[in-house]
């Protein structure tokens, strides 16, 4: 992502980023002297509308940075929306940067599509970022890829030469079979497992006080709305923010969740579904117990 942003944007440029967003998006733009202009999607099911993007556009806007399936909300952009955004971005000469790291992890009926499937012309204005990390459970390997117009990819490669040279060669070789499809079964199994965990979490969270969530269309997180907890108390502790609740769950339930503030929204928590069912069940039971004592 950094190499792409470095290749496309200059200091002073503005880039539209739907919020909640992965915090690194805004940090990377800041590191480059560019500015992330966030577009609040918390009232539009975590999907931006073209009208919202248009309202945020200024003469300095150079691009839109989208992530679908979305971390942390699990939102999957519908094909029509992506096509509309690509169309709009194209009309205004904006780059569309698309992070589809979780593209393989989608739960029916949601479907991950690339905007070029609908809007052929956008191929010259879209740079797409993928990763082996999530599909093949190798998050620690740090191997991903880019595709897009040749000049952008060439520029990114030149920057990469001076930053990290390349992704480790030994890991690139190790991933060749996966890139050729040898691990597609593994991906199917992973999606099925995640769907089971989602069902479990839906069931266990149904009667947990104060928390609610929207079923994710993809990725492997639950983005829990904890706005009803804000301002309440747990014994001596006052839960003024989502971060206070995250700290409480860590201390009292031994469950680590990420406070929504990391994504630009304070009244949510991100719960990961990467632990196995038994651990997930235990974690949810403990969360329930602790939340039961919130007054």
Which residues here bind a second copy, judged by CB under 8 A? 2, 6, 24, 27-28, 31, 33, 140-143, 159, 161-171
Residues in the chain: 295
Q: Closest separation between CB of residue 34 and a second copy, Å?
A: 13
Q: Closest separation between CB of residue 247 and a second copy, Å?
A: 20
Residue 154 corresponds to which tokens in the numbers above?
């060439």
The DSSP code for 255 is -
Strands (E), the chain: 14-19, 35-40, 61-67, 95-99, 126-131, 144-147, 212-213, 221-225, 233-234, 237-238, 258-259, 268-272
Q: Closest separation between CB of residue 174 and a second copy, Å?
A: 9
Q: Closest separation between CB of residue 27 and a second copy, Å?
A: 5
Taking the least distance from each CB to a second copy, the nearer of 139 and 212 is 139
Q: Closest separation between CB of residue 144 and a second copy, Å?
A: 10
Single out the residue of 240, 250, 258, 235 nearest to residue 283, CA to CA: 250
Taking the least distance from each CB to a second copy, the nearer of 163 and 238 is 163
Taking the least distance from each CB to a second copy, the nearer of 120 and 158 is 158
Q: Closest separation between CB of residue 171 and a second copy, Å?
A: 6
Taking the least distance from each CB to a second copy, the nearer of 158 and 209 is 158
Q: Closest separation between CB of residue 272 and a second copy, Å?
A: 16
Element (H, E) at 11: none
Query: Measured on CA atoms in the order 118, 123, 127, 131, is the torsion positive or negative?
Result: positive
Question: Cα(52)–Cα(18) distance, rounded to whole angstroms?
Answer: 9
- Calculate the CA 289 to chain-centre distance: 29
Question: Cα(119)–Cα(131) distance, rounded to whole angstroms?
Answer: 23
Taking the least distance from each CB to a second copy, the nearer of 43 and 162 is 162
Taking the least distance from each CB to a second copy, the nearer of 1 and 113 is 1
Taking the least distance from each CB to a second copy, the nearer of 129 and 201 is 129
Number of alpha helices (DSSP H) and beta strands (DSSP E) in the chain: 9, 12
């Amino acid at each position: 992502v950094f190499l792409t942003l470095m290749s496309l944007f200059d200091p002073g440029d503005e880039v539209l980023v739907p919020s909640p967003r992965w915090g690194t998006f805004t940090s990377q733009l800041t590191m480059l002297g560019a500015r992330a202009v966030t577009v609040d999607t918390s009232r539009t099911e975590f999907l931006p509308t073209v009208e919202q993007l248009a309202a945020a556009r200024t003469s300095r806007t150079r691009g839109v940075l989208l992530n679908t399936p979305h971390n942390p909300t699990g939102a999957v952009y519908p094909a029509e929306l992506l096509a509309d955004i690509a169309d709009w971005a194209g009309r205004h000469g904006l780059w569309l940067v698309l992070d589809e790291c979780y593209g393989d992890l989608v739960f029916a009926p949601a479907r991950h599509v690339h905007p070029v499937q609908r809007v052929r012309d956008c191929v010259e204005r879209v740079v797409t970022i993928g990763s082996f990390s999530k599909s093949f459970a190798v998050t620690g390997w740090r191997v991903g890829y880019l595709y897009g117009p040749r000049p952008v990819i060439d520029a990114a490669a030149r920057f990469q030469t001076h930053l990290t040279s390349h992704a480790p060669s030994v890991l690139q070789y190790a991933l060749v079979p996966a890139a050729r499809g040898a691990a597609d079964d593994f991906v199917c199994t992973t999606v099925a497992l995640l769907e089971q965990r989602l069902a479990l979490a839906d069931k266990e969270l149904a009667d947990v006080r104060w928390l609610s969530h929207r079923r994710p269309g993809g990725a492997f997180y639950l983005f829990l709305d904890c706005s009803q907890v804000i301002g309440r108390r747990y014994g001596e502790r006052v839960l003024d923010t989502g971060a206070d609740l995250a700290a409480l769950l860590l201390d009292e339930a031994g469950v680590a969740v990420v406070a929504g503030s990391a994504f630009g929204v304070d009244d949510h928590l991100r719960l990961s579904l990467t632990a196995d069912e038994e651990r997930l069940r235990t974690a949810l039971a403990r969360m329930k117990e602790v939340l039961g004592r919130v007054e």
